[in-house]
Amino acid sequence: MPLLIGPLAHPLLRARLAPQAVEAGTVAGRLRGGGMAGIAARGWPMLEPGQGALPVWRTDWTPALRRYAAIFALQLQERDGQELLGLGEPAEDAPEWQPDLAAAIAGRLLDLPKDRSAEAVRRRLPMIATWVASRLRAEAENPGLPHVGPDGSPRARIRSVAEPYAAYFSVEEIRLEQRRNDGGWTGPLLRAVFVSGDATVVLPWDPQRDRVMLIDQLRAGPLARGDAQPWLYETVAGRIDAGETPEQAALREAVEETGIAISRLIPAPHNYPSPGAVAEYLYLYLGIADLPDGSAGLGGLASEDEDIRAHLLPRAELTRMALAGEIRNGPLLNLTLWLELRHAAIREELAAGGSGLPPSGAGV
């Protein structure tokens, strides 16, 4: 019988994986790392010698615990004749552990079809965690907007959710019923949704030189549509990894894609770019940056096969391009027109010493 230790012994994970577990004393030592336990494949803590007593919980192997351990490749580790489960190789520079997120991911993993191999699920862990974090973020941002009508009855009823396609991104099939505006209910509806998770978008702007930095890279969407020019001018952008905030993702993506540092983030209107079929929410920011001549070059992560070229452009020229229909990337078009309306007020705020930084949010 294994002994659960560290994050795996947390009440939220125990409740999902081994609710019958019982307290079994303590183990001497201390844990190092573990900030990404249950969130990334490599994120579990390491047990090191040292002062301290770590509580452990004894349990039988439940089907849920066995499946979960296989997905994360957790192995029993023997210490003083006891078999411990919940230890591994810590992730580097891991943030503070988020048990709510880890428990939600566990629930999602256990809901996946059992015929998917643990190895296949493990390969998709980054995107699964990103999607779960996106759902938690949506719930936290709209706590006062229940899906109910004026009389308190529900406006929509989800009957089932299936996932017929799952690779890097996935597709969900949702069977639902919707309450009509006349008070009646529809029959069963089937809706397919492209699932990618939330993303952050940032337009670097140098208010002193009044210039912006754009990037271009090959985009699969225009290519699949048959567009002869699938290299689009666009903003810095990327997925919000599980465990980080939209603001942290914006700063990280700016460095990865362009090599520049953003000194301040100013939030622009966030939005759903295509809510009819795409479950993606975009967090838009203006990024205050120093953009001297020669700061535009090549960027992107080789590990993600990114091939990105940066461009410096006067803000007025960007506005002209937007009004002339030469900007075909939606988030860039939104930020361009928003900046044209707001640049004078933003300059005044910056001159007055305003930080421009939004409140820090929970890192889901």
Count of alpha carbons within 13 angstroms of residue 261, beta-carbon side: 1
Annotated binding site for Mg(2+): 237, 253, 257, 306
Do residue 168 and residue 216 come from a single domain? no
Q: What is the DSSP letter of 302?
A: G
Residue with the larger pLDDT of the pair 33 and 364 = 33
294-346 tens-digit pLDDT: 998 888 888 777 888 999 999 999 999 999 999 999 999 999 999 999 999 99
Same domain (yes/no): 339, 248: yes
For position 362, what pLDDT does the model report? Answer: 40
Q: Is 323 found in the same domain as 286?
A: yes
Q: Are residues 166 and 217 in the same domain?
A: no
| pLDDT score, position 302 | 81
Same domain, 209 and 347: yes
- Does residue 241 sit in the same domain as residue 329? yes
Q: Is residue 136 domain-resident?
A: no
pLDDT at 31 over 80: yes
pTM summary value? 0.89
- pLDDT at residue 69 greater than cutoff 90: yes
Paired with 61 in beta bridges are: none
pLDDT at 152: 66
Residues 255, 333: one domain? yes
Task: Classify residue 113: in a domain, yes or no.
Answer: no
With a cut of 50, say whether residue 361 has pLDDT above it: no
Domain boundary among the residues 69, 102, 135 is at: 102
Examine residue 134 and state whether it is found in any structural domain, yes or no: no
279 in a domain, yes or no? yes
Nearest CA to 106 out of 153, 67, 147 is that of 67
Of the pLDDT bands very low, low, confident and very high (cuts 50, 70, 90), residue 80 is: confident
Both 72 and 171 in one domain: the answer is no
Same domain, 210 and 278: yes
Residue 149: the pLDDT is 60
Q: Which of 304, 317, 326, 349 is catalytic?
A: 304
In degrees and rounded to multiples of 5, residue 72 shows phi and psi of: -90, 5
The domain containing residue 28 runs over which residues? Answer: 3-102
- Asked whether residue 363 is assigned to any structural domain, the reply reads no
Whole-number pLDDT of residue 304: 77
> Does 115 reside within a domain?
no
Write b or e for each residue in 266-287: b if 16 or more Cβ atoms lie within 10 A of its Cβ, otherwise e: bbbeebeeeeeeebbbbbbbbb
Identify whether the C-beta of residue 31 lies closer than 8 Å to the C-beta of residue 49.
no
Q: How confident is the model at residue 73 (pLDDT cuts 50, 70, 90)?
A: very high
Query: Among the three residues 42, 74, 102, which one is the final residue of a domain in this structure?
Result: 102
> Both 20 and 86 in a single domain?
yes
Higher pLDDT, 37 or 151: 37
304 assigned to active site = yes
Are 160 and 263 part of one and the same domain? no
**pLDDT in the model for residue 359:** 39
Does residue 213 lie in a domain region? Answer: yes
Mean pLDDT of the 96-110 span: 96
- The CA distance from 85 to 3, in Å, is 6
Q: What is the pLDDT of residue 268?
A: 98
Q: Could you tell me the pLDDT band of residue 150, with boundaries at 50, 70 and 90?
A: low
Q: What is the rounded distance in angstroms from the CA atom of residue 291 to the CA atom of residue 312?
A: 8
The total of structural domains in the chain comes to 3
* Residue 184 and residue 319 in one domain: no
Rounded CA separation 54/306 (Å): 43
Percent of the chain scored above 90 by pLDDT? 79
235 band by pLDDT with thresholds 50, 70 and 90: very high
Q: Which residues are annotated as a binding site?
A: 237, 253, 257, 306
Nearest to 249 by CA among 107, 355, 90, 133: 133
The stretch 57-62 carries a mean pLDDT of: 96
Q: 330 phi and psi, to 5 degrees? A: -60, -50
pLDDT of residue 131: 96
